[in-house]
Amino acid sequence: MRIFVIFLMLFVFTPGAWAQGHAAPSQEEQVYICPMHPHITGKKGDHCPICGMTLVPKVSDPGQEEEPTRKPEEKKTETQGALHIDPVYVQALGVRTGEVAHRTFGTKIRAFGRITPSTRGEYTVSVRAGGLVRALKTAAIGDSVKRGDFLFTLYSSELVVAQQDYLSRATSGAHRLRILGMDETAIAQLDREKKILYDVPFHAQSDGIVTELNVREGSSVEEGDTVLKIQDFSRVWVEAQLPAKDMGAVKPMDPATVQNPQTGAARSARVDFVSPELDEATRTGTVRLVLENTDGALRPGQYLDVVFTIDPKKRLSVPTGAILYDARGAHVIKALGDGYFSLAAIKTGASGDGYTEILSGLSHADQVVVTGQFLIDAESTLRGGSMQMSGPDQGKSGGAHVH
Domains in the chain: ranges and CATH: 2-60 (no CATH), 79-104+314-397 (2.40.420.20), 109-118+234-312 (2.40.30.170), 123-229 (2.40.50.100)
Geometric angle at alpha carbon 335, from 333 and 341, rounded to 5°: 70
In this prediction, residue 392 carries a pLDDT of 64
E strand residue ranges, 24-65:
32-33, 41-42, 56-57
Half-sphere exposure in the Cβ direction for 43 (13 Å, CA): 4
In this prediction, residue 71 carries a pLDDT of 47
In this prediction, residue 19 carries a pLDDT of 35
In this prediction, residue 100 carries a pLDDT of 96
DSSP state for residue 30 in the 8-state scheme = -
CA 76 and chain centroid, separation: 39
Under 8 Å between Cβ of 135 and 152: yes
Task: Write out residues in the chain with pLDDT < 50, as ranges.
Answer: 1-27, 61-75, 395-403
In this prediction, residue 54 carries a pLDDT of 82
In this prediction, residue 375 carries a pLDDT of 82
How far apart are alpha carbons 288 and 360 in whole angstroms? 36
In this prediction, residue 195 carries a pLDDT of 94
Under 8 Å between Cβ of 61 and 338: no
In this prediction, residue 22 carries a pLDDT of 40
In this prediction, residue 53 carries a pLDDT of 77
In this prediction, residue 394 carries a pLDDT of 52
In this prediction, residue 199 carries a pLDDT of 96
Angstrom CA distances, 159 to 45, 51, 126, 196, 222, stand at: 110, 98, 14, 9, 13
Q: Which residues pair with 135 in a beta bridge?
A: 153
In this prediction, residue 238 carries a pLDDT of 97
